[in-house]
Amino acid sequence: MTTPYERTRAVVQAYDFLVELSRDSSMPEKVRSDARFLLRHYPTKRDVLLAGEIEEQAGSFPLGVMGPVFSSSTTD
């Protein structure tokens, strides 16, 4: 099972990967424009860490069966 910090790290790394793709001039223009398109609405590292912090502080609120989705850290 994926832990919140692993999920957080994966989302942050995916963002970095999309940024890298969007700037790589060796990639076809279609790939770079698709990466830029996805980045328009993709959460930044700050967004994801803030979501994790809010979820961690919401200990008394019911989060459903899943529990926290994100973590306020990318490390265990």
Domain range annotation of the chain: 4-57
The predicted pLDDT at position 36 comes to: 97
At residue 15, the pLDDT reads 97
Work out the percent of the chain whose per-residue pLDDT is above 70: 87
Q: Read off the pLDDT of residues 27-63 as tens digits, 9 standing for 90 and up.
A: 999 999 999 999 999 999 999 999 888 888 776 666 5
DSSP string for residues in 3-64: -HHHHHHHHHHHHHHHHHHHH-TTS-HHHHHHHHHHHTTSPPHHHHHHHHHHHHHTTTS---
Whole-number Å distance between alpha carbons of 63 and 46:
21
Residues 6+ positions from 31 with CB-CB distance below 8 Å: 21
